[in-house]
Amino acid sequence: MNSDMEYASRSRTSAGFAAWFMNKLFMGMSVSDYSRSLVTPFNLLAAAILATSLPIFITRYSKGLASVLDATNEYPWGLLLSWGIFAGEPLFAAGFVVAAGYYLFGMKTYRPLVRLAVLGGMLGYAFAASYLLIDLGRPWRIYYPMLINFGPASVLFIVAWHVGLYVTVQLMEFSPAILEWLGSKRLHKWAVSVTVGLIIGGVILSTVHQSALGAMYLITPGKLHPLWYSSYLPLLFFSSAIYAAMSFAILLAYAAERYFRDRCDKVFLSSVPDVTLSLGKGAAVALYVYFALKVLALAQDDRWSLLFTPFGYWYLVELIGFVALPTVLFTVGVKTAKVGLMRLAALWAVLGIVLNRVNVNLIAFNWKQPEHFERIIPSSGEVIMIAAMVTLHILVFRWILNRFPVMRELPEYKGLH
């Protein structure tokens, strides 16, 4: 990796460029060594999942949505969107939360984690868009709300624009890492200089679209169960995205430390415990706020009596088991300064977010329909497509972490960002 500059200068000849590029691609290994390094149990499992999903994806695009999904008038959106977009995006707020902490709020100790969090966010958003490309009836028209016709009274219009712009902003935020990989110093300098503006832009776009995901359900008072329906929905979605992001960042740092140790420099590795504790403290505060807002939402609409119904018990499982419990875990983690406990709390909080979004999207949505619970069970095709997307997500993430300077600083760029 230290010979980057050498390769960059040699890249003037086309043969030199090809050699330089292959070296980048195969991480300095020969093609046969590289291929051999790919045969691992995880990769075989990944290959099996992807191979199983391939015919399902082909069917979806050649025969239409009905061939793989059980969507109806009552349940137009299934687990694919609940998981892929509504549960995913709060986690992918990690990029904006960590970047805002470091660049705007002066939390200097977050620095080694910034790139990893921004990458986690950016890639997550790209995958969220991919889930949409599966679920949209005519995915080739995905740009229509941007270019063809505008529906500004639609909250989904707000989501579409903000997610679209935010992916662009994130790509620009991450661009220094790409430019370092390619060895372009001049562009790198320019990319670093616009960072603070981009971070503020990212904060705005994230705030709006995270809350907008909740605001999308403001129009469904007759369909979403009154325990989950609230005029606080935008606020609830936004505030939960904050602790979801912090928890996801904790888990990312853990995964990097554990599975990509040789791609991390000493600065990164030594910062992980402190950053984990600091993020955990933030997540605890955010969870207290979220818990209070959830209770206030019940009080505001006087929904207390509904707690003593079957849906109410389920609501309490979410509120006590997946909001209050991680709050306690984080709090004990702060008091005892235990990194492992913080990680457990983070995992629990992430599960809670997924549960909440699936509740709003699927379990508590159109709950009065006859045979509601039978009808929200996802089709096998849907589950396999989700498994394939998760697998692909991990593979792409790994591909990038193995190559780009994410958890380490290249010596020639030290102190430049």
Partner 1 sequence: MYKRNNKPPDDNAAPKATKESPKNSGGLSRRKFLSASLLAGCAALGVAKQAGAGNEFKGWPKSYGMLTDFTACVGCRGCEEACNKANGMPQPEKSFDDESVFKEDRWPSAAALTVVNRFEDPKDPSRPVYRKIQCNHCLEPACASACPIHAYTKTPEGAVIYDADLCFGCRYCVIACPFNIPGYDYASAFEPKIVKCIMCYGKIKKGELPACADACPAGAITFGKREDLLKLARQKIMDNPEKYIDHIYGEREVGGTSWLYISGVPFEQLGFPTDLPKKPLVELTEGYLSSVPVIFTTFPAIFGLVYGAMKHRDKAEQKEKDHDHHTEGKQ
Please select the residue that binds partner 1; options are 121, 124, 145, 381, rule is CB under 8 A: 145
Whole-angstrom CA distances from 335 to 257, 280, 284, 331, 332 are 24, 11, 11, 6, 5
- Contact with partner 1 (CB under 8 A) among 29, 178, 218, 387: 218
| CA gap 95, 113 in Å, rounded | 10
Choose which of 93, 99, 160, 287 interacts with partner 1 (CB under 8 A). Answer: 160
When the beta carbons of 139 and 411 are compared against partner 1, the nearer one is: 139
The conformation of residue 84, written as its DSSP 8-state character, comes to I
| 373 belongs to the binding site for partner 1 (CB under 8 A) | no
Counting contacts by CB under 8 A, is residue 251 touching partner 1?
A: no
55 is a contact residue toward partner 1 (CB under 8 A): no
DSSP three-state, residue 229: coil
- Min dist CB 99 to partner 1, Å, is 12
Among 161, 166, 330, 348, binds partner 1 (CB under 8 A): 161
The pair of three-digit structure tokens given for residue 360, joined into one six-digit string: 């709003």
CB of 182 or CB of 285, closer to partner 1: 285
* Residue 142 makes contact with partner 1 by CB under 8 A: yes
366 near partner 1, judged by CB under 8 A: yes
Q: Is 64 in the site for partner 1 (CB under 8 A)?
A: yes
Report the site for partner 1 in 8-37 (rule: CB under 8 A). Answer: none
Which member of 32, 41, 105, 310 binds partner 1 (CB under 8 A)?
105
Q: How many CB atoms lie within 10 A of CB 275?
A: 23
Using CB under 8 A as the binding rule, whether residue 150 contacts partner 1 is answered as: yes
Q: Report in angstroms how near the CB of residue 184 gets to partner 1 at its nearest.
A: 27
136 in contact with partner 1 (CB under 8 A): yes
CA torsion through residues 67, 70, 75, 77, sign: negative
Distance of CA 311 to the CA centre of its chain: 28
33 phi and psi angles, rounded to 5 deg: -60, -45
Cβ–Cβ < 8 Å for 111, 407: no
Is 251 in contact with 94 (CB distance < 8 Å)? no
Residues 334/193, Cβ–Cβ less than 8 Å: no
Query: Of the candidates 20, 83, 86, 103, which one interacts with partner 1 according to CB under 8 A?
Result: 103
Do the beta carbons of residue 83 and residue 386 sit within 8 Å? yes
| Region from 172-180, 240-248, 314-322, 365-373 binding partner 1, contact rule CB under 8 A | 365-373
CA distance 125 to 92: 7
Classify 343 as helix, strand or coil: helix
Q: Collapsing DSSP states into helix, strand and coil, what is residue 183? A: coil
- Cβ within 8 Å of residue 44, ≥6 positions away: none
Q: Measured from the CB of residue 218, what is the shortest distance to partner 1 in angstroms?
A: 5
* Contacts with partner 1, residue ranges (CB under 8 A): 61-67, 69, 71-74, 76-77, 100, 103-106, 136-139, 141-142, 144-145, 148-161, 196, 200, 203-204, 207-208, 211-212, 215-216, 218-223, 231, 234, 366, 368, 370
